[in-house]
């Protein structure tokens, strides 16, 4: 028995112990020219989720990035002001801030690619991301709504270099359209403007 009961940081008890369920699922398909991914995730518990359990909107959650030294180590190379790295995961609404998350999200990611070079493989990409998310993550534009609709779109270049048996993906993207631009990762002042981000992982 804990002899000093009291209010916890997240729950009603100081030990912050409660049961919860966090479920996510996705399905994706990719052809030579087109790719599509559908994602759904939810968090079930009496109280609001702490940061590491949220369904993230723009990319990978803290559990998914835990083993990535470029994102989670002290002085991580890709975590610094004015550098926009996109770690794919969860709803993958890639133009939004990476700290946004809530109890649930449903998202659709669409990509079209056109090969420019075959060796090394370089392709031009156009993408659109759209989703319905928890209004506690991003407040709805109309008060009283039980969801917030988000979308972004843009162009990019995808390269898949390889050295002998070592191969990886490099993305440089320009998500110039964001409907809730005040929550955009880069340039939160206009719906349409120049924005950029990079990644060393495939989008899905």
* Span 54-66, pLDDT tens digits: 999 999 999 899 9
Report if residue 2 sits inside a domain.
no
Comparing 66-80, 120-134, 160-174, the range with the smallest average pLDDT is 66-80
Rounded CA gap, 58 and 93, in Å? 4
Report if residue 56 sits inside a domain.
yes
Residue 1: predicted pLDDT: 45
Q: What range does the domain containing 69 cover?
A: 21-199
Report if residue 105 sits inside a domain.
yes
Strands 162-163 and 104-118: unpaired
Report if residue 15 sits inside a domain.
no
Burial 121-146 (b: 16+ CB within 10 A, else e): eebebebebbbbbbbebbeeeeeeee
Report if residue 65 sits inside a domain.
yes
Count structural domains, the chain: 1
The token pair at 192 is: 């349409």
More confident residue, 63 or 6: 63
Report if residue 192 sits inside a domain.
yes
Rounded CA gap, 114 and 157, in Å? 10
Average model confidence (pLDDT) for the chain?
91
* Span 161-188, pLDDT tens digits: 988 888 889 999 999 999 999 999 988 8
Token pair 């008060």 is found at 143
């Amino acid at each position: 028995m804990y002899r000093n009961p009291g209010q916890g940081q997240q729950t009603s008890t100081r030990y912050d112990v409660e049961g919860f369920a966090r479920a996510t699922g996705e399905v994706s398909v990719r052809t030579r020219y087109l790719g599509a991914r559908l994602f759904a995730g939810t968090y079930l518990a009496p109280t609001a989720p702490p940061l590491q359990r949220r369904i993230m909107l723009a990319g990978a959650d803290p559990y998914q990035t835990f083993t990535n030294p470029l994102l989670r180590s002290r002085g991580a190379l890709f975590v610094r002001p004015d550098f926009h790295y996109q770690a794919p995961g969860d709803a993958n609404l890639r133009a939004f801030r990476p700290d946004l998350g809530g109890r649930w999200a449903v998202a659709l990611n669409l990509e079209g690619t056109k090969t420019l070079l075959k060796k090394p493989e370089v392709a031009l990409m156009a993408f659109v991301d759209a989703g319905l998310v928890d209004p506690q993550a991003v407040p709805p534009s109309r008060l009283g709504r039980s969801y917030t609709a988000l979308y972004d779109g843009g162009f990019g270049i995808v390269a898949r270099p390889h050295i002998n048996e070592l191969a990886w993906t490099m993305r440089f993207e320009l998500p110039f359209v964001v409907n809730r631009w005040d929550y955009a990762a880069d340039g939160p002042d206009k719906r349409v403007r120049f924005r950029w981000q990079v990644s060393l992982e495939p989008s899905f």
